[in-house]
A = this chain, B = another copy of it.
């Protein structure tokens, strides 16, 4: 997935994949594709030595990650001056049942990204980020919405983190037993896990004649969520 000339994140003690280093990737293409296929991440930060792990929606723009929350939240108060953070995305693709306990595993695709999380305070950058917070998932949707009020913009905090270091880690091999164990009469399987889109549920209070919009075309029932998110991302950030 990487070539030696491709843009890649620098490697240091923070992001080097130590355990199972054969599963590690640092090139932008691999790292960014896994980020853009996700809506949910977990962000870790520290307050007084105590780590917190907070789930949130997020998106990427170049080598910057964005997420948001209420201006009142604990995390955001702490991060306003720039605090070290780690944003992690994980796609769980399977549970792997092997012939011994030790080789039980899971297939997954994950990214850990490190940087300094900072509040977006510039009004122009914040307005643009609040548009992309919606449009990254649903291209051009903001144009069809009731405009945000000043109060809403004030109440929403946007966090930006330039990625200083990042790594992807991928396991995609299913059952991998010790050679001598394949001769044992023990059942083993790869149990696929799929995160899919269900049947859309239109708001019961829609005005008459209001139909599903083109910005949602990528989100059809039964599609893999990561495929839909990848396609929507490509459309939202197309040149």
Interface residues of A (CB under 8 A from B): 14, 18-20, 39-40, 42-46, 49-55, 57, 69-70, 72-74, 84-88, 90, 92, 94-95, 97-102, 104, 106, 108, 110, 112, 114, 130-131, 133-134, 137-138, 141-142, 144-149, 152, 155-156, 174-175, 177, 181-203, 205-207, 209-213, 216, 219, 225
- A147–B101 Cα gap in the complex (Å)? 8
Would A112 and B205 count as touching, CB distance under 8 A?
Answer: no
Q: A181-B146, A212-B187 are in contact. Are A46 and B49 (CB under 8 A)?
A: yes
- A87–B130 Cα gap in the complex (Å)? 29
Q: Which of B18, B74, B189, B213 contacts A200 (CB 8 A)?
A: B189
Would B191 and A194 count as touching, CB distance under 8 A?
Answer: no
Which applies to chain A's interface (DSSP): helix, strand, loop or mixed? mixed
Number of copies: 2
**A-B contact list, 11 entries, CB within 8 Å:** A19-B72, A45-B51, A49-B84, A52-B112, A97-B216, A99-B145, A101-B131, A101-B145, A101-B148, A102-B148, A184-B207
Interface centre among A191, A195, A211 (most CB of B within 10 A): A191
Would B189 and A201 count as touching, CB distance under 8 A?
Answer: yes
- Chain B residues within an 8 Å CB radius of A182: 205, 207
Q: A141-B97, A175-B203, A201-B190 are in contact. Are A40 and B88 (CB under 8 A)?
A: no
Q: A19-B70, A191-B200, A194-B196 are in contact. Are A144 and B40 (CB under 8 A)?
A: no
Would A44 and B52 count as touching, CB distance under 8 A?
Answer: yes
